[in-house]
Amino acid sequence: MGSKYLKQTLEQKISNGEKLFIPYIVAGDGGLDQLEARIHLLTAAGASAIELGIPFSDPVADGPVIQAAGSRALQNGTTLKGVLKTLQAFQEEPTIPIVIMTYLNPIYHYGIEAFARDSADAGIDGVIIPDLPMEEEHILTDAFKQAGIANIRLAAPNSTPDRLQAICQRAEGFLYAVSVMGTTGVAEDHAVEVKQYLQQLKQVSPVPVLAGFGVANPTQAKTLSDCCDGVIVGSKIVELFHQGEEAAITSLIQQSLYSDKTPAHDLS
Amino acid sequence: MTTYTMPTKEGKYGIFGGKFVPELLMPAVIELEQAYTEARNDPAFIQELDNHLRQYVGRETPLYFAENLTKKWGGPSIYLKREDLNHTGAHKINNTIGQALLAKRMGKQKIVAETGAGQHGVATATVCALLGLECVVFMGAADMKRQKLNVFRMELLGAEVRGVEQGSGTLKDAVNEALRYWVRHVTDTHYILGSVVGPHPFPQIVRDFQSVIGNETKQQILAASNKLPDAIVACVGGGSNAMGMFYPFIDDHAVRLIGVEAGGNGLQSDKHAAALSTGSAGILHGTLSYLLQNEDGQIQEATSISAGLDYPGVGPEHSYLHEQKRVTYTAATDEEALAAFQLLSKTEGIIPALESSHAVAEACKQAEKMQTDETLVICLSGRGDKDVEAVQQLLRGDNHGE
């Protein structure tokens, strides 16, 4: 469990020639009692790990789909404490890594040390915090090290080369490469520069590189996966769960996954 | 005696402040920091800003001796710093003109801003018209309904006003949406944040541009009474007029500084905007500061009669000055502000903004405890024309209830 397990699990798949696919879901959207079933569905579909979003009142990095899902989750009473308790009470432990995506305030208010400890106890392997740039990350470094959970860093297409290098040097678990200049959600085709940026990150990063933001279909997933180690898909998965289109989620994941040995362009 | 040097180069005020923003915004925040450091040391920039403040904004504003109010209260000499006499009717333009000049200096031709009641939006749209910048203003849908005239004003000035339906459709949600817009357009757009909140360097930039209020006040009060004031009162939402007023006096320890938050229906109720009086530390909109939040760390809605104070956070420097006990923070309720609104109108012939009325309400309480040879300065941050209609409705409602 923890940071090492996360990195090793993903690296194992990469060394087998597989591309990675991490679906994002909002904890509590549809009710926390759905969480275990959803994680098992995503696991069975072939997800490499799961990114579990903690709803927040002011999600500035998120687009409309995830904002709406977060509001639904908050309205039905979802709390960070409740999510961690639910994870601990799962009947079957997840068989793939689980990472949390949360804005900083809920964990700051929870108490960073208590959060790190309780997350580790709940089987969380890493945490993605979109409003915590490296300048401020010292606020949780010790607590996360102590608990053995990864602080998963984000890189952006407009990060300067020296920032990208510094981010890569600190990277734990995997690197979350934001692939659009914007918020989460559906994007037009990704620009050539984004592909170059992913390839550059791939060259310098000591951990797997996954592209996220604006990935909504197997074609986009494959195009980006070609430049790095895989993709994170959020808004589309959240939307499909909300619409009850679970079969479509399975097929989106399966169609997006491919092995290096059978390149994407041969499949399509 | 030590000299006040906040913020640190990391943008911290003690534990408060910092830059808690997505990586996508870090290049812009760093660029702004560099541009501002250069600008504030460039005599040509300072000259240009000064010219605009004099010729366009109409500074300096008077420090008016309120003789009628002084007599009525029977305590200290009361002075009003007349920020209501600025172009566009409030202190907001001190900051927007500075930031718009900074945007031009950075080669950014587009501006995004948030607004609550519309005062900052109007002040932003105004300077964009003056300097030929494109302007998009985000405003909560609920606020747009309440402040139709300000929406039209902004449009008249050439700005595009976009309604925000998310959340409660008020200022906090408008900030969220302005930040999202800035993320998407960061390469050619500058975000003119309207208060001493947000990621570093915004709290510092806004404070510095607003400190013209305190600097003028200091010179004017010395000229008028040959001594520094005994106390200064200013209202605090995000806290830009207060920070601008207080900052030049921070090292003058004999001057009591009092910030007044919006007490809404009372601090015992859950309907107010008093982050410092009742909140706890947390992170919102890029900064660590006092916040109204629930036990799960979700940000709560603020409530106030005055849209300009209706924000669940407060500037990080206020949080620091609160913990250092250099500034005393109190709260005035809606009812007290409404009474002060009428009092100043009738006593001095000056209709204050509802925001500023909170400061007047607290000044009344302070005056009771002060001597006749003392002086008290009230920062009159804006004029009340924008509030007249709302107040009319409230007073009618009160009368019907009797």
The pLDDT value recorded for residue A260 is 63
Q: Provide the pLDDT confidence category of residue B400 given band limits of 50, 70 and 90.
A: very low
The pLDDT value recorded for residue B174 is 95
Asked whether residue A263 is assigned to any structural domain, the reply reads no
CB of B8 within 8 Å of any CB in chain A? Answer: no
CB-CB: which of B21, B280, B299 is closest to A58?
B299
The pLDDT value recorded for residue B1 is 56
pLDDT over 80 (residue A264) = no
Chain A residues whose beta carbon lies within 8 Å of the beta carbon of residue B172? 58
**Residue type for A16, please?**
N
Q: Provide the pLDDT confidence category of residue A258 given band limits of 50, 70 and 90.
A: confident
**Helix axis angle, B334-348 to B388-401, nearest 10°:** 110
User: B78 and B102 in contact (C-beta within 8 Å)?
Assistant: no
- Strands across the sheet with A126-128, in order? A150-152, A126-128, A98-101, A50-53, A20-26, A230-233, A209-212, A175-178, A154-155
Chain B residues whose beta carbon lies within 8 Å of the beta carbon of residue A130? 22
Chain A residues whose beta carbon lies within 8 Å of the beta carbon of residue B20? 104, 131-133, 136
With b for 16 or more beta-carbon neighbours within 10 A and e for fewer, the B204-218 pattern comes to bbbbbbbbbbbebbb
Chain A residues whose beta carbon lies within 8 Å of the beta carbon of residue B23? 133, 154-156, 159, 163, 167, 178
Chain B residues whose beta carbon lies within 8 Å of the beta carbon of residue A59? 176
Percentage of chain A beyond pLDDT 70 is 94
Q: Provide the pLDDT confidence category of residue A192 given band limits of 50, 70 and 90.
A: confident
| CB within 8 Å: B22 and A156 | yes
Asked whether residue A198 is assigned to any structural domain, the reply reads yes
Chain B residues whose beta carbon lies within 8 Å of the beta carbon of residue A79? 296
- Mean pLDDT for chain A overall: 93
Query: Stretch A170-182: mean pLDDT, rounded?
Result: 93
pLDDT over 50 (residue B401) = no
Q: Provide the pLDDT confidence category of residue A267 given band limits of 50, 70 and 90.
A: very low
Distance, CA of A19 to CA of A221 (rounded, Å): 10
| CB within 8 Å: A159 and B23 | yes
The pLDDT value recorded for residue A171 is 96
Q: Provide the pLDDT confidence category of residue B381 given band limits of 50, 70 and 90.
A: very high
Asked whether residue A232 is assigned to any structural domain, the reply reads yes
Asked whether residue A266 is assigned to any structural domain, the reply reads no
What CATH number is attached to the domain comprising A91?
A: 3.20.20.70
- Mean pLDDT for chain B overall: 95
CB-CB: which of A67, A105, A130 is closest to B297?
A105
Q: Provide the pLDDT confidence category of residue A188 given band limits of 50, 70 and 90.
A: low
Does this model's pTM top 0.90?
A: yes
Range of the domain at A174: 3-258
**Helix axis angle, A35-45 to A246-256, nearest 10°:** 40
| CB within 8 Å: B22 and A131 | yes
B248 vs A263, which has greater pLDDT?
Answer: B248
B-interface mutation test, from A62, A112, A118, A131, most B Cβ less than 10 A away: A131
The pLDDT value recorded for residue A189 is 64
Asked whether residue A265 is assigned to any structural domain, the reply reads no
B103 vs B310, which has greater pLDDT?
Answer: B103
Query: Stretch A226-238: mean pLDDT, rounded?
Result: 96
CB of B10 within 8 Å of any CB in chain A? Answer: yes
Distance, CA of B262 to CA of B269 (rounded, Å): 12
Question: Which residues, 6 or more positions from A104, have their beta carbon under 8 angstroms from its beta carbon?
Answer: A129, A131, A132, A139, B20, B283
| CB within 8 Å: A105 and B180 | no
Asked whether residue A267 is assigned to any structural domain, the reply reads no
| CB within 8 Å: A133 and B20 | yes
| CB within 8 Å: B23 and A181 | no
Nearest to B289 by CA among B244, B257, B321: B321
Number of structural domains chain A divides into = 1
Percentage of chain B beyond pLDDT 90 is 91
CB atoms within 10 A of CB A262: 10
How far off is chain A from B22, nearest CA to CA, in Å? 5
User: A60 and B180 in contact (C-beta within 8 Å)?
Assistant: yes
Show which residues on chain A lie within 8 Å of chain B, measured between beta carbons: 56-61, 63, 67, 74, 79-81, 103-110, 130-133, 135-136, 154-156, 158-160, 163, 167, 178, 181-183
Asked whether residue A68 is assigned to any structural domain, the reply reads yes
User: A218 and A187 in contact (C-beta within 8 Å)?
Assistant: no
Long-range contacts of B106-110 (CB under 8 A, 24+ apart): B106/B31, B106/B32, B106/B35, B106/B190, B108/B188, B108/B189, B108/B190, B109/B133, B109/B134, B109/B188, B110/B134, B110/B135, B110/B136, B110/B185, B110/B188, B110/B189, B110/B190
CB-CB: which of A106, A160, A182 is closest to B184?
A182
The pLDDT value recorded for residue B117 is 82
Question: If you compute the radius of gyration of chain A from its CA atoms, what whole number of angstroms results?
Answer: 17
A209 — phi, psi (to 5°)?
Answer: -110, 125
Nearest to A233 by CA among A202, A206, A203, A212: A212
**DSSP state string for B153-187:** HHHHTTPEEEEE-STTSSHHHHHHHHHHHHHHTTT
The pLDDT value recorded for residue A261 is 57
Asked whether residue A264 is assigned to any structural domain, the reply reads no
CB of B188 within 8 Å of any CB in chain A? Answer: no
Q: Which residues pair with B293 in a beta bridge?
A: B299
| CB within 8 Å: A106 and B26 | no
Query: Stretch A28-37: mean pLDDT, rounded?
Result: 97
The catalytic site residues of A sit at 51, 62
pLDDT over 60 (residue A35) = yes
Q: Which pairing describes strands B12-13 and B16-17: parallel, antiparallel, or unpaired?
A: antiparallel
CB of B165 within 8 Å of any CB in chain A? Answer: no
Distance, CA of A223 to CA of A195 (rounded, Å): 8
pLDDT over 70 (residue A266) = no
CB of B24 within 8 Å of any CB in chain A? Answer: yes
Digit-coded pLDDT (tens) for B258-293: 999 999 999 999 999 999 999 999 999 999 999 999
Query: Stretch B25-50: mean pLDDT, rounded?
Result: 97
